């Protein structure tokens, strides 16, 4: 399936461009066995006009037929190429950057490519006093992420590390999330298959989707 790249996209987001949009679908907790619980999810990747994508995920527990039972989880954060921040970049806080992006052309971006693909980072925040920083690699329509650091409040639940993988297969977004709570190795936590149901424009959040 061809990947359509917005013409006004910041050059360094081109490797991540296939994620942009609103995705919806169903999944299962744990290993995805017959008796594992079902969930429904909406994921939005939005171009902010800056050199990162805004990420948001909302999910609900469902029955086997897909009827929503109750809210399950909310995540939010930012995804970008992993590179050193320059004086021309915006931030920290509301410090404005230069009017032109640091990486201005495909050639500039291509210089960041490694043998395994482009290095990326993702910061993901959760309710309950937990924030994750992932490092990983994007290689075409495939992403691998692993936690580099965790920030936990003193009252948060145990959580030690995690990995996530994403892949675009036949136009659908498949993902898997493995988690360690500190007393064991990584274990299957959740997985899902999502379909793109809409696009997002820079500066606009994705519209809430309705489950069919």
Binding residues: 157, 189
Site of tokens 């993902």: 175
Q: What is the residue-wise DSSP string for 144-189? A: EEEEEEEEE-TTSPP--EEEEEEEEETTEEEEEEEEE-SSSS-EEE
Dist. CA 183–CA 77, nearest whole Å: 27
Closest CA to 77 of 48, 116, 34, 106: 48
SS3 205: coil
Neighbouring C-beta atoms of residue 180, cutoff 10 Å: 17
Dist. CA 79–CA 10, nearest whole Å: 13
Dist. CA 189–CA 180, nearest whole Å: 9
β-partners of residue 79 are: 53, 122
| Binding site, annotated residues for heme b | 157, 189
Dist. CA 46–CA 134, nearest whole Å: 18
Dist. CA 108–CA 118, nearest whole Å: 13
């Amino acid at each position: 399936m061809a990947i359509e790249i917005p013409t006004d996209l910041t050059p360094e987001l081109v490797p991540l461009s296939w994620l942009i949009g609103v995705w919806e679908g169903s999944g299962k907790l744990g290993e995805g066995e017959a008796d594992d619980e079902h969930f429904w999810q909406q994921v939005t990747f939005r171009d902010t006009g800056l050199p990162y994508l805004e990420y948001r995920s909302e999910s609900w527990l469902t029955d086997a037929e897909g009827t929503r039972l109750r809210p399950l989880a909310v995540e939010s954060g930012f995804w970008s190429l992993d590179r050193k921040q320059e004086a021309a970049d915006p931030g920290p806080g509301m410090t404005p950057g230069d009017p032109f992006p640091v990486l201005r052309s495909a050639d500039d971006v291509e210089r960041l490519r490694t043998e395994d693909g482009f290095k990326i980072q993702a910061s993901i925040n959760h309710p309950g006093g937990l924030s994750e920083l992932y490092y990983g690699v994007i290689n075409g329509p495939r992403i691998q992420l692993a936690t580099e650091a965790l920030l936990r409040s003193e009252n948060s639940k145990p959580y030690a590390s995690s990995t996530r993988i994403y892949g675009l297969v036949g136009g659908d977004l498949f993902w898997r999330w493995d988690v360690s709570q500190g007393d064991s190795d990584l274990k299957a936590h959740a997985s899902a298959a999502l379909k793109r149901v809409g696009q997002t424009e820079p500066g606009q959040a994705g519209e809430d989707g309705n489950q069919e």
